[in-house]
Amino acid sequence: MSRCRRLFVTATIAATTALTSSAVDISGTYDDKGTQVRGSTPITASFHGLLAQEFDPELATLKFAGTARVQLLDHDGTLVVKIYSETNEQLWSSRWSAREGYSHEGELAVVRMKLGEAQDKRWVLVMQPVENGKLLEVKAYRVLPSYIGPRGEPVGTYLFNKLD
C-alpha cells in the first residue's frame, strides 16, 4: 500500500474514532476469550482469532479453543505478541513495528495486516484500553479499495479482559 493510501486509511479510521494527543501503552496479558459487542446479544470472540485474521467469532472460538491468553508488549514503537495455551505453552508469536504496520495514533494503537498480496485481504485493528485499563477494546476494519482510495469498513468491536 502506498504511503498516500496508508495515510488515507489511517485518516478514515481516525475520523470514526475519538483521538487525544498522548500515546497509549497497550502492554499486558489479556484473556483470549472476549466479547464481540453487537446488538443486545454478546458473542464470544477470540483475540487470537482476530490476530490470525479470522473474523467469524464462532469459527475463531472453535479454531483457537486451546488459546488461553494473549500477551502484548508495546515498547518503542514495536508491538510484540505472544499467545499461550492453558498449560503455558507458547502457541504463536509475532511482532509489528512501524515498517510492518504498527503505529500509535493519539490514544490508539493501530495494527495494519494483510493476507499475502491480495488487495481484498487487508485489515486494521485499532486498540485502546477502556474502563481504566481493565479492558482492551479492539475495533476491526476491513480495508477495501474504492475510487478515491482505500476505505475502512467496520467488522466489529471486541472487548478483552486484562489479566495482569
- State the pTM of this model: 0.82
Backbone angles phi, psi at 57, to 5 degrees: -55, -40
Dist. CA 58–CA 98, nearest whole Å: 31
pLDDT tens string 118-157: 556 789 999 999 999 999 999 999 998 888 988 889 999 9
DSSP letter at 97 equals: -
CA dihedral 152, 82, 129, 61 (to 10 degrees): 70
Dist. CA 66–CA 110, nearest whole Å: 26
Q: Residue 109: which of 72, 153, 143 has the closest Cα? A: 72
Residues of the chain with pLDDT under 50: 1, 3-9, 11, 13-21
Dist. CA 124–CA 111, nearest whole Å: 6
Structural domains of the chain ordered from first start: 3-161 (2.40.128)
Residue holding cell 453487537? 38
How many other CB atoms sit within 10 Å of the CB of residue 69?
21
Dist. CA 63–CA 52, nearest whole Å: 10
pLDDT, position 2: 52
